[in-house]
Structure formats: C-alpha cells, structure tokens
A = this chain, B = another copy of it.
Amino acid sequence: MINIAVLGYGTIGSGVVEVLKTNGDSIRKRAGDEINIKYILDIREFPGDPIMDILVHDVNIILDDPEVKIVVEVMGGINPAYSFAKQALLKGKSVITSNKEMVAKHGAELLDIAKARELNFLFEASVGGGIPIIRPLNNSLTADEIVEITGILNGTTNYILTKMGDEGIAFEDALKEAQDLGYAERDPTADVDGHDACRKIAILSSLAYGMQVDFEDIYTEGISDITDVDIIYAKALNARIKLFASSIREDDKNVYAMVAPMMIRANHPLYSVNDVFNGIYVRGNVIGDVMFYGSGAGKLPTASAVVADVVDAAKHLNRNIWTIWSSKKLELIDIDLVKHRFFVRVTKKAETLADIKKLFSDVEELPEVIKDEIAFITPLITEKEMKDKKEHIKGLKGSIRIRF
C-alpha cells in the first residue's frame, strides 16, 4: 500500500478522491500496489463528508509522517503551495501538482530537488487538463528536436471565441455566458488576457527545449479586443479566430514565444478544436506534426491527469524520471523581429486601396462584408514593421490584434 496526501479539497482535490474511489481496482493493477489517501489538507471543515476522518488542518502532520510517499498539491496559487511542495520534496516525498503558476515559476528548482533525491515532481495536469502532453513530451518525443509547439491551451477563451463565431454574439455576452456556466471565473482576467495560456506555453517550452523559459518574457495578448466584426470577416474567409500560445525554435539560438489571437483556415490542425476543448500541436524535426486533443479543464479530466501522475510516481518510488528542463535561462528573441501577416480594417472614407498598396508591398484584399470598409491581410512583415506602418494607416478601425 502506498500512502498519499492531498493538499486542497476543492474541485480538483475532490475529483482526485472520486477517481481513486471509482477506478480503485484498475488503478491498483496499473500502479502495482494500492493507493491510499492517508490525509487531506484543507483549512475548511466538511461536515458529513466521509473525508472528515482523514482531514487535517496542519500541513506538518503530513510532512512529518514518513509513511506518506506522495503529496498531491491541488490548492493552486503560489503561496503556500510552493512552500508546501518544496518542504515535501525536502522531506523525501514525491510531489504531484496541477498548479501551472507554481510550475511555471518554480518548476526548474523543484525538478532539481526531486532529481537530487531520486524523487519525482510531476505536473501533467498543469497544462491541457486531462490531455496527456507533459509525459508524451518528456518520454515519447525523445528522438526529436522539437521545433514548434502551438496550442489552444485555455478552455475559457476558446469557449468564448467559439460562441462568438457560432452565434455572432459580442465578447461581453459570450463571457457572461461562460461565467454563468462556470467555465469562466468571476474575475476572468487571467484567462481573457492570456496569462493562463502564457504560463502553460512557458511550461511546455521549458520541457521541450531543456532550458528555463520565463513566462514574464513571453509576449502576451488576450482576446478582449476581438469584436463581432472580426468574427464576420473570419466567417467570410471560412476561418476561425483562436487564442494561440506558441513557441517556435528557429535554431538553437533563436526561440520566440507568444500568446495572441490568430485567424486560421480550415486546413489548420487546430481549426476543429472548439468549445472548452484544448489542442496542442507539436512539430519535431523527424516525427513531423503530431497533435493532442481533449478536455482542457474540468474536475474529472484534470483529476484523471493528477491520478495518472500518482500512478507514475508509485511505479517510480526512489527513482527519478528524467527530464531535460534545466534552470539555465533561455533568452527569447525580441518579438519585434518576429514575422506575421496581420488582419487590418480601414474606413474607405479615409483610405483608398491604392494608399494601402503604397504602404504595404502586397496585400490580400478581403471581400467587402462591412459597408464602406476595406479589410486586408498584410504580407509577412515583422511586428516592428507593423507597428511602424500602423502610424501611417489613416482610417484604421479596430485594433490590429489578429495575426494570420
């Protein structure tokens, strides 16, 4: 029997309890031993819930119990989660977490501590909810040099953009609907402004390239400036607008990463990733393109990923599972140097197509779906060039937030 402790009895914590109960038999077969929850830590009480028997309020009871071999941190936030996770590792316990903030910020350090002690620090649930992506990147795509990771990594924004696309409703209404359904938080900033996706692409990039990618370095835009007019244009092109989190390795010295809305056509592998689903597309230099798809959030899918990590840690007690993520910092290239095509709208009153063609060597003009408006896609130009040219577009409408 392998004893574990669960820190936090919220949505994911209660999901972990439920998964271990529902699938106990098959999990024992997979892990080679029974997984027993010895403690659950929470500051709250849960009168009437059977977990009351194992509920504790003091983390030291868990940290000081040598019988606990694996600690599952599903509290979220940096404090006190980071302190608890670090102490657990220092006390000889493997740590499993779903906490993307903590992994993005302290992952390299916690992995180092685990490595030095033949323990494990695992975080499959921190990116893509239930989708297996951390373990495949770490253990399956090992024959490849990863050259690109592009993901739809935030279910809330994907739900909002899907609703806007399907029903033609405004951003605010779609957000309200997502909140009513429990997909979006009361304060949706972390999702809507791209911060959540930013942390996730930082984790995937660090793991793929073997160096620390600081999330603060990643250029991040959200979706709050996307309007129903943008959606109308996307539809006319049979395209969709998605919030992409990408990192691209042009060579060993040139990696860039960004989170920003993109307009993609039907032939893109992530085109069909809709609603709250996530999809992660990985390109390797020998394997070519692979794609992973599934529920990016939700109690049980996320708990499934957490428990799969518990099984892996149980199979690797006293033996570290190798990762190449080191604490050496990867310097990303300046986003100003990165090239994209941009979707631009101008009013005909202020601008003619001839003016535009003078400014950009070559443009793809879009069908006139809004009266008195010219819309076009620029040629491939750097972010810096676009910023400069923007100043010279007289009749600019909306923001230039959508790459193509």
Contact at A295–B289, with CB atoms within 8 Å?
yes
Q: Are B295 and A287 neighbours in the complex by a CB distance under 8 Å? A: yes
Interface size on A, residues (CB 8 A): 54
Question: Which stretch in A3-11, A26-34, A212-220, A371-379 binds the other chain?
Answer: A26-34
A22 CB contact (under 8 Å) in B29, B136, B286: B286
From A157-165, A301-309, A387-395, the one touching the partner chain is A301-309
Shortest A140–chain B CB gap in Å is 4
The interface bits of chain A over 293-325 (1 if a CB of B lies within 8 angstroms of the residue's CB, else 0) are: 111001011011111101110010001001010
List chain B residues, Cβ under 8 A from A140: 124, 132, 135-136, 305, 308
Decide if A168 is an interface residue (CB 8 Å cutoff). no
A136→B19 CA distance, assembly (Å):
18
Residue A1 is within 8 A (CB to CB) of chain B in the complex: no
Instruction: Tell me if A404 is interfacial: C-beta within 8 Å of chain B.
Output: no
Q: Is A30's CB under 8 angstroms from B285's CB? A: no
**CA of A292 to CA of B291 in the docked complex: distance in angstroms?**
6
Q: Closest Cβ of chain B: how far from A277's Cβ, in Å?
A: 8
> Known contacts A22-B285, A300-B286, A303-B286; is A143 also within 8 Å of B311 by CB?
yes
Tell me the smallest distance from the CB of A385 to a CB of chain B, in Å. Answer: 34
**Chain B nearest Cβ from A248, distance in angstroms:** 17
The answer to whether A290 and B322 have CB atoms under 8 Å apart is no
Residue A254 interfacial (CB < 8 Å): no
Question: In the bound complex, how far is the Cα of B324 from the Cα of A311, in angstroms?
Answer: 13
Nearest to A300 among chain B residues (CB) is B286
Q: Which residues of B contact A141 (CB under 8 A)?
A: 132, 304, 308
A288 with B300: CB separation less than 8 A: yes
| A269, B279: Cα distance in complex, Å | 12
Which of B19, B32, B284 lies in contact with A304, CB distance below 8 A? Answer: B284
Residues of the B chain whose Cβ atoms lie less than 8 Å from the Cβ of A304: 141, 143-144, 284, 286-287
Binary flags per residue of A127-159, CB closer than 8 Å to B gives 1, else 0: 000111001100111111100000000000000
- The complex places the Cα of A286 from the Cα of B16 at a distance, in Å, of 10
Which B-chain residue is minimally distant from A135 (CB atoms)?
A: B140
Q: Is the CB of A143 within 8 A of B27?
A: yes
Min distance, Cβ A281 to any Cβ of chain B, angstroms: 9
Instruction: Tell me the minimal C-beta distance from A322 to chain B in angstroms.
Output: 6
In the bound complex, how far is the Cα of B32 from the Cα of A177, in angstroms?
49
Q: Name A271's closest neighbour in chain B (CB-CB).
A: B272
Determine if B300 and A294 form an interchain contact, defined as CB atoms under 8 angstroms apart: no
Interchain CB contact under 8 A, B23 and A285: yes
A374 to chain B, nearest CB (A): 32
User: What are the 7 tightest A-B residue pairs by CB atom distance, in nearest-first order?
Assistant: A143-B307, A132-B140, A290-B294, A291-B293, A287-B304, A30-B142, A130-B287
Partner-B contacts on A (CB < 8 A) = 19, 22-23, 26-27, 29-32, 124, 130-132, 135-136, 139-145, 210, 269, 271-272, 284-295, 298, 300-301, 303-308, 310-312, 315, 319, 322, 324
A-B contact pairs, 30 of them (CB 8 A): A22-B286, A23-B144, A23-B286, A27-B142, A29-B210, A132-B136, A135-B135, A135-B136, A135-B140, A136-B136, A139-B308, A141-B304, A142-B308, A143-B303, A143-B306, A143-B308, A269-B272, A284-B304, A286-B301, A287-B294, A287-B300, A287-B305, A288-B298, A288-B301, A289-B294, A290-B292, A291-B291, A291-B294, A292-B292, A319-B319
